[in-house]
Amino acid sequence: MPELATEYEKQSDVKLSVTYGSSGNFFAQIQNGALFDLFFSADSAFPSKLAAAHLADADSLQIYAVGRLVLWLPADSSLDPAGGLKILLDSRVRKIAIANPEHAPYGRAALEVLDHAGLYDRVKAKLVLGENISQAAQFAQSGSAQAGLIALSLALSPTMASGKRWVPPVGQQPELEQAAVVLTSSSNKKTALDFLAFLKAPKARAIFERYGFQLPPPHAPARHKL
């Protein structure tokens, strides 16, 4: 998002103010009257629910990227992530960082991946929950956890790119369709829509791709369920 904001600000007279947190917490804040112009979620369910409640403009809702989950280990870890999720059973892994599934779509995805692999019951005592996916990544990066199930985009970021990683194959993890929507209470709807349109431009798509996101076709219609 910082790179997207910087690129957009270069071509407009708009200064973006970005607040970061878990999708579920922002969903609750918006329901309680928090004033934002745009809501970017790590799933499509939260924005769709806001649109259904007339707290967001359903016509503006669009899938901006499809995220993936990754098993991440520090660069100095003695474990080899090529072994896949089974390495989480190793006694050297005392804590596994994931985002809180009550608030964060990536946390729910982590539980699905572990369950699909038949490992959840065997590692659940090791799980430590970050308030959002960024905090979960910080736990793994700092050594508070010896492994993390985090967003691929964070694993590819400059501060974490030196770590070891393994991406569960397609079919072994859910597709995280990430959606954005303009809020009904916005007083800057024209600019908000302009920023959403910018996300389909080549420069914006190149940023998403560099961080491991899959992208919908640039001219695809909004996809949402109400």
Q: Is 182 helix (H, G, I), strand (E, B) or coil?
A: strand
Q: Which residues pair with 72 in a beta bridge?
A: 148, 165
Q: Are 176 and 43 in contact (CB under 8 A)?
A: yes
Res 224: pLDDT: 44
Task: Give the C-alpha separation, 119 to 33, whole Å.
Answer: 40
Whether CATH 2.40.70.10 fits 69-166? no
Res 13: pLDDT: 86
The upper half-sphere exposure of residue 25, i.e. CA atoms within 13 Å in the direction of its Cβ, equals 12
3-class SS shares of the chain: helix, strand, coil, % to 5:
40, 20, 40
Residues in the chain: 226
Residue span(s) of the chain under CATH 3.40.190.10 come to: 2-66+176-210, 69-166
- Span 177-221, pLDDT tens digits: 999 999 999 999 999 999 999 999 999 999 999 999 999 876 554
The values of phi and psi at residue 177, to 5°, are -75, 115
Res 218: pLDDT: 63
- Span 80-109, pLDDT tens digits: 999 999 999 999 999 999 999 999 999 999
Is residue 172 scored above 90 in pLDDT?
no
CATH of domain 2-66+176-210: 3.40.190.10
Res 197: pLDDT: 96
